[in-house]
């Protein structure tokens, strides 16, 4: 109980696994905020319930996690965002969904709520309504400034989101994002869903991270129920997670180059991505491997011809990918675009706890697979690349190195895998219990917190995508850059809209 | 008889450029696709696109002025006339004596001016961005283009393209450093003027990075067809210009036999194929540059053109 030692709390919740959760008073809540502001702890998640708010924090040094809960008896809670900016969008979301009001509310503009739900505060259980007001973008004033509004409908086949630039000619003075267009009400759909249905929902939170979400959800459920998963199942899960990472990193590396109009790389990595997806299809019967990872294990074993398909894939990647790295490294015109473009300062990456390549390209040494060492990664050897430059180029290089690591990991897992069980039956009648889990998706850590009732139904579930803490950094990365470089910066982040809009 | 013949061959030249322009664009796209290991659209796809656009309704913004509607026709006619002035398969055609290289630049400059106006007419942010970038590029490209023309004209002793081509095809030209520089400068200019990589990307969907495409985002239907056709004509114009000034061999003269004219036309097609292929290869092997790197790129063209002119002053044989 390392973290909670220094935070005064009323009582610890016994059924919360594997990390502790404690109910705190205002003093404890404030102590937690102070530790976040001081940089000793990193904000991992911040979510609500009709009458409580939860704050998940990570101690990066000791790899400990703790959750503190504040009971909102008067419908209010002490604001986290007013002193710790990374919590701002989460705090606005809590207000949108539950109607809980932070004291000292600096910014209570709606975030997910675009006034199209037909009601306000949908998860609060109350019948309140809020006044419809046009969304106010933050002001940026000056003589030569003009605004450029982009989205929510974009020209490419990407997700919807609005970007409001204030620019002085080509130079961006301020970028403000307005998301929420892909809100699907996942948290509301989760309530009361059976574990099976909820796992399917989790799978579909952000389609490109289907495996990572299912993995995190399954681990949270297993932690809550306190069950062990067969070893073969964990291996298969990691296999799928790494395949998903490979496919997405290939896609990203090509897409970043394509945004610099270097279509050659895009075409080449497109082929590798397609081969990866086909191998996934051959091995697990679905290109995105949806609904294979389920609480208790995996729904189906790898197909007999899946293993040779994967080995062929690895051989091809090992043959082709080094040449693509060389192409990237030796194309001066491309380097000219990516080097020093869109720098994320290391301080911001640390403060926001940015996961994935965004954090690791800016010196934040965190990878849930390494830091939290969940099965089977505790038995696999791999490196976590970290760079300091924080520019688009660094984010490309992190991806390149991670592709190499994933290829090694898949080979290791294939060697390590032994025949055996792939699924454990879920115990019924355990009573109410809670679980928390993190997995490393391709774009960063996914957090899943859930509470089950006694009959294997989800009482409350919160899914937090890595993008929550990456989107705000994109706003800082583009400052001082030119408008024409925004697509490049944006693609190098490749944040999820769906995952953050819930 | 001669007048009829002149009009006929000039007419043939004008319809040739109009008919060939989409094919050249289609060819470049096809080669680019093949280089990316894609199958690519059919060669004739640009024609189909033009027909499709011609059949579609025009959707106009509520606040579009009369200028917005007129401009596609202005751009098209200006570009078409300019493209007809450049000798393609035959030299010394009727129109070649009515206007010189400087007139061609002026025609293209006016077309660009109207295009930039149209970009700002509706008042969208993207149109404004596109127009401002286009004008920034133009303000550098046009002087560079003029100086390139001067350096070529000083060597050939005329700004009339027909004379220039004739001189370049003769033995009097020899191997000259200044011509090499002018060639590089003209190539850079051709890339910039035609919104090709590395200055602009004709295939992008990213509004924020567009130059030419951002200006025409609000156009639709036949207006867009005319603007697209003008862009294709412009590409053909520049490729023909490079071919006629630097690869003038095999061009038929005004009074040549039909067989010579056909030979000239075939050779011209060959030149277009080679240059189009080179363009596709170049575009595939390079990324687009940062917007503020473009002035340096065009500045290099300006310096080369200036040097070419200076060298010519220093020594008549360079």
B258 touches chain A (CB under 8 A): no
Among A262, A264, A484, select the one facing B209 at the smallest CB separation.
Answer: A484
H or E element: which one contains A197? Answer: helix A195-203
ipTM: 0.89
B201 touches chain A (CB under 8 A): yes
The structure tokens listed for A195 are 């574990």
Q: Report residue B300 CA to chain centroid gap.
A: 19
Which residues of B fall within a CB distance of 8 Å from A263? Answer: 32, 36, 203, 284
Q: B290 and A337 in contact by Cβ < 8 A?
A: yes
Measure B250 CA to nearest chain A CA, in Å. Answer: 36
Q: Cβ of B313: how many Cβ atoms within 10 Å?
A: 11
At residue A458, the 3 state secondary structure works out as strand
**Interval A264-306: pLDDT, tens:** 999 999 999 999 999 999 999 999 999 999 999 999 999 999 9
Q: A150 and B205 in contact by Cβ < 8 A?
A: no
Mutation target for A interface from B287, B289, B290, B296: give the one with most A CBs within 10 A: B287
A158 touches chain B (CB under 8 A): no
The structure tokens listed for A114 are 């675009």
A483 → chain B, closest CA residue: B208
Q: Could you read off the pLDDT tens digit of each residue along chain B, which spans 318 residues?
A: 577 877 887 888 889 999 999 999 999 999 999 999 999 999 999 999 999 999 999 999 999 999 999 999 999 999 999 998 888 887 767 777 777 889 999 999 999 999 999 999 988 889 999 999 999 999 999 999 999 999 889 888 888 888 888 888 887 777 788 889 999 999 999 999 999 989 998 888 888 888 899 999 999 999 999 999 999 999 999 999 999 888 888 887 767 778 888 888 899 999 999 999 999 999 999 999 988 889 999 999 999 999 998 988 887 666
Which residues of B fall within a CB distance of 8 Å from A261? Answer: 197-198, 201, 203-204, 209, 287-288
Which residues of chain A does CATH 1.10.645.10 include? 187-465
Mutation target for B interface from A258, A263, A329, A482: give the one with most B CBs within 10 A: A263
Name the residue among B294, B217, B289 with its Cα closest to residue A155: B217
Q: Is the pLDDT of residue A1 over 60?
A: no
- Residue B254 confidence (pLDDT): 65
pLDDT bin (cut points 50, 70, 90) of residue A4 is confident
Which residues of A fall within a CB distance of 8 Å from B216? Answer: none
Do B115 and B71 form a contact (C-beta atoms < 8 A)?
yes
Mean pLDDT, range A60-72, rounded to an integer: 91
A168 → chain B, closest CA residue: B129
pLDDT bin (cut points 50, 70, 90) of residue A367 is very high
Measure B52 CA to nearest chain A CA, in Å. Answer: 20
Among B38, B287, B289, select the one facing A267 at the smallest CB separation.
Answer: B38
Query: How many cross-chain Cβ pairs, A to B, lie less than 8 Å apart?
Result: 79
Q: Report residue B97 CA to chain centroid gap.
A: 20
Which residues of A fall within a CB distance of 8 Å from B125? Answer: 146-149
CA dihedral A115, A116, A121, A122 (to 10 degrees): 180
Q: A15 vs A29, A434, A451, CA distance in Å?
A: 21, 6, 9
Which residues of B fall within a CB distance of 8 Å from A267? Answer: 36-38
- Residue A146 confidence (pLDDT): 87
Which residues of chain A does CATH 3.30.460.80 include? 3-103
Buried b (16+ CB within 10 A) or exposed e, B41-67: eeeeebbebbeebeeeeeebeeebeee
- Residue A180 confidence (pLDDT): 92
- Residue B53 confidence (pLDDT): 96
- Residue B92 confidence (pLDDT): 66
Measure B303 CA to nearest chain A CA, in Å. Answer: 21
Q: Report residue A206 CA to chain centroid gap.
A: 9
Percent of chain A with pLDDT over 70: 100
Among B128, B205, B287, select the one facing A337 at the smallest CB separation.
Answer: B287
B197 touches chain A (CB under 8 A): yes
The pairs formed by A270-273 with CB atoms below 8 angstroms and a separation of 24 or more are A271/A320, A271/B37, A272/A316, A272/A317, A272/A320, A272/A321, A272/A324, A273/A247
- Residue A187 confidence (pLDDT): 92
Among B32, B128, B287, select the one facing A331 at the smallest CB separation.
Answer: B287
Measure B110 CA to nearest chain A CA, in Å. Answer: 24
| CATH class of the region A3-103 | alpha beta
Do B251 and B227 form a contact (C-beta atoms < 8 A)?
no
- Residue B204 confidence (pLDDT): 85
Could you tell me which residue, A323 or B89, shows the higher pLDDT? Answer: A323
- Decide yes or no: CATH 1.10.645.10 for domain A187-465: yes
**Interval A476-486: pLDDT, tens:** 999 889 999 99
- Residue B256 confidence (pLDDT): 73
Among B128, B197, B208, select the one facing A261 at the smallest CB separation.
Answer: B197
A208 touches chain B (CB under 8 A): no
A315 touches chain B (CB under 8 A): no
Please report the residues numbered 31 through 70 in chain B whose beta carbons come closer than 8 angstroms to any beta carbon of chain A.
32, 35-38
Q: A482 and B290 in contact by Cβ < 8 A?
A: yes
The structure tokens listed for A25 are 């008073």
**Interval A79-111: pLDDT, tens:** 999 999 999 999 999 999 999 999 886 788 999
Q: B206 and A147 in contact by Cβ < 8 A?
A: no
**Cα distance between residue A58 and residue A447, in whole Å:** 12
Please report the residues numbered 253 through 312 in chain A whose beta carbons come closer than 8 angstroms to any beta carbon of chain B.
257, 259-264, 266-268, 271
Q: B197 and A156 in contact by Cβ < 8 A?
A: no
A485 touches chain B (CB under 8 A): yes
Adjacency order of strands within the sheet including A171-178: A146-150, A162-168, A171-178
H or E element: which one contains A274? Answer: helix A263-284
Q: A336 and B36 in contact by Cβ < 8 A?
A: no
Can you state the angle between helices B294-314 and B177-193, rounded to 10 degrees?
150
Name the residue among A472, A474, A172 with its Cα closest to residue A343: A474
**Cα distance between residue A322 and residue A324, in whole Å:** 5
């Amino acid at each position: 109980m390392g973290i909670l030692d220094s935070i005064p709390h009323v009582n610890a919740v016994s059924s919360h696994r594997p990390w502790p959760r404690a109910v705190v008073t205002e003093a404890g809540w404030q102590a937690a905020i102070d530790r976040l502001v001081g940089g000793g702890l990193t904000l991992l998640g911040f979510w609500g319930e009709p009458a409580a708010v939860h704050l998940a924090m990570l101690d990066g040094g000791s790899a400990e996690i703790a959750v503190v809960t504040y009971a909102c008896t008067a419908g209010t809670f002490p604001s986290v965002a007013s002193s710790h900016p990374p919590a701002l969008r989460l705090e606005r979301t809590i207000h949108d969904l539950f109607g809980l009001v932070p004291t000292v509310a600096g910014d209570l503009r709606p975030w997910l709520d675009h006034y199209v739900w037909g009601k306000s505060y949908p998860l609060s259980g109350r019948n309140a309504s809020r006044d419809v007001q046009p969304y106010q973008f933050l002001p940026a004033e000056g003589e030569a400034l003009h605004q450029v509004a982009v989205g929510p409908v974009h020209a490419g086949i990407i997700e919807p989101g609005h970007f409001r630039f204030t620019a002085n000619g080509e130079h961006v003075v301020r970028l403000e994002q307005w998301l929420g267009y892909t809100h699907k009400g996942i948290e509301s759909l989760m309530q009361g869903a059976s574990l099976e249905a909820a796992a399917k929902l989790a799978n579909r939170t952000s389609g490109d991270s289907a495996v990572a979400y299912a993995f995190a959800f399954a681990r949270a459920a297993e932690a809550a129920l306190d069950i062990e998963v067969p070893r073969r199942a964990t291996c298969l899960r990691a296999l799928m997670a790494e395949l998903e990472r490979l496919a997405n990193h290939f896609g990203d590396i090509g897409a970043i180059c394509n945004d610099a109009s270097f279509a050659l790389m895009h075409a080449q990595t497109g082929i590798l991505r397609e081969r990866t997806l086909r191998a996934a299809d051959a091995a697990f019967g679905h290109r995105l491997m949806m609904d294979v990872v389920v609480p208790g294990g995996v729904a189906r074993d790898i197909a007999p011809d899946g293993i040779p398909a994967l080995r062929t894939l690895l051989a091809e990647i090992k043959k082709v990918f080094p040449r693509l790295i060389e192409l990237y490294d030796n194309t001066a015109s491309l380097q000219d675009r990516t080097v020093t473009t869109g720098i994320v300062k290391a301080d911001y990456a640390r403060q926001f706890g940015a996961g994935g390549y965004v954090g690791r390209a800016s010196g934040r040494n965190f990878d849930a697979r390494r830091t939290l060492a969940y099965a089977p990664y505790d038995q696999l050897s791999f490196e976590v690349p970290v760079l300091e430059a924080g520019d688009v180029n660094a984010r490309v290089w992190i991806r390149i190195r991670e592709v190499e690591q994933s290829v090694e990991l898949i080979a290791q897992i294939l060697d390590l895998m032994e025949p055996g069980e792939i699924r454990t039956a879920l115990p019924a009648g355990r009573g109410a219990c809670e679980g928390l889990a993190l997995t490393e998706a391709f774009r960063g850590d996914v957090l899943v917190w859930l509470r089950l009732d006694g009959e294997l139904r989800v009482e409350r579930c919160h899914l937090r995508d890595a993008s929550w803490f990456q989107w705000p950094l994109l706003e800082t990365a583009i400052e001082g850059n030119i408008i024409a470089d925004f697509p490049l910066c944006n693609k190098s982040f490749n944040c999820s809209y769906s995952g953050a809009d819930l | 008889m001669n007048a009829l013949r002149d009009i006929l061959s000039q007419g043939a030249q004008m319809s040739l450029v109009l008919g060939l322009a989409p094919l050249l664009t289609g060819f470049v796209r096809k080669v680019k696709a093949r280089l990316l290991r894609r199958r690519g659209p059919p060669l004739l796809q640009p024609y189909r696109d033009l027909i499709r656009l011609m059949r579609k309704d025009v959707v106009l913004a509520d606040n579009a002025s009369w200028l917005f509607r007129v401009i596609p026709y202005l751009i098209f006619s200006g570009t078409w006339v300019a493209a007809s002035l450049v000798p393609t398969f035959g030299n010394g055609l009727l129109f070649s004596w009515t206007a010189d290289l400087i007139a061609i630049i002026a025609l293209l400059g006016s077309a660009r001016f109207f295009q930039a106006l149209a970009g700002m007419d509706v008042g969208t942010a993207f149109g404004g961005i596109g127009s401002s970038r286009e004008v920034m590029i133009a303000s550098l490209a046009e002087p560079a283009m003029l100086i390139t023309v001067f350096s070529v004209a000083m060597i050939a002793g005329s700004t009339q393209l027909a004379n220039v081509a004739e001189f370049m095809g003769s033995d009097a030209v020899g191997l000259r450093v200044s011509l090499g520089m002018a060639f590089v400068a003209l190539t850079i200019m051709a890339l910039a003027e035609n919104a090709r990589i590395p200055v602009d990307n004709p295939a992008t969907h990213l509004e924020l990075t567009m130059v030419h495409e951002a200006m025409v985002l609000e156009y639709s239907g036949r207006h867009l067809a005319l603007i697209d056709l003008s862009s294709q004509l412009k590409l053909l114009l520049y490729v023909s210009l490079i071919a006629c000034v630097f690869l003038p061999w095999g061009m038929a003269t005004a009074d040549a036999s039909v067989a010579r004219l056909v030979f000239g036309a075939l050779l011209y097609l060959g030149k277009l194929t080679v240059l189009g292929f080179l363009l596709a290869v170049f575009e595939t092997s390079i990324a687009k540059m940062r917007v503020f790197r473009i002035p340096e790129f065009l500045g290099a063209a300006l310096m080369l053109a200036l040097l070419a002119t200076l060298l010519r002053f220093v020594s008549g044989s360079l």
